[in-house]
Amino acid sequence: MQDHFMEEVVVKQKNGVNRALYMLSWVVIVLSGFSAMFMFSALSRSMMAGGFDWMTLLIFLASGGIAVYTFFFHDKILTEYEYTFTNGALDFAEVYNNKKRKSLGSLNVRNVESFGKVNSESFRRYMNMPGLKRMNWFLNREAELYYFYFTKDQDKKMIILEPSEELVGFIRQYLPRDAWRE
């Protein structure tokens, strides 16, 4: 039997706005960082002179907080999804700016109750189920989206993703009988 392996990375097709926001985040980091350093210097000078300025402290904390927060979270602006298929097991990961990788989980395709296109009637039926937990692991709304519906530990779950036609072909080979929905 031949092994089936495929790795696929989903990137945002129209990424100009995200790239501009990413560059803007660096400007915010630098400007708020300089502002925090300037306010810290002013605060230390006023304390050495025997006074204390609350407004300078607040500006220092705010600008420093903005710089630190933006620094730690700006990579999430450039998010990609990675799907890895190995003999019926599908692993999902979120990749931030090609630097940080966060595993989202694994799914054995044999445990799926339903798999099909998002624009199908079966998808709409599942979406109206009460208590359904939906996970959107796609970036391009205009792409051909597919869904997995499965139950795990009595919880109804749905994963929505944007695989290539080749990956859909691999998935269909490992699906349980009657799980494919047109």
Residue numbers in the chain where pLDDT is lower than 70: 1-2
pLDDT score, position 69:
96
pLDDT tens, 46-93? 888 888 788 999 999 999 999 999 999 999 999 999 999 999 999 999
Residues in Cβ contact with 105 at an 8 Å cutoff, skipping those fewer than 6 apart: 91, 92
The pTM of this model reads 0.81
pLDDT score, position 68:
96
The Cα–Cα gap between 148 and 46 comes to 62
Q: Which backbone phi and psi does 16 adopt, to 5 degrees?
A: -60, -40
Percentage of residues of the chain with pLDDT beyond 90: 73
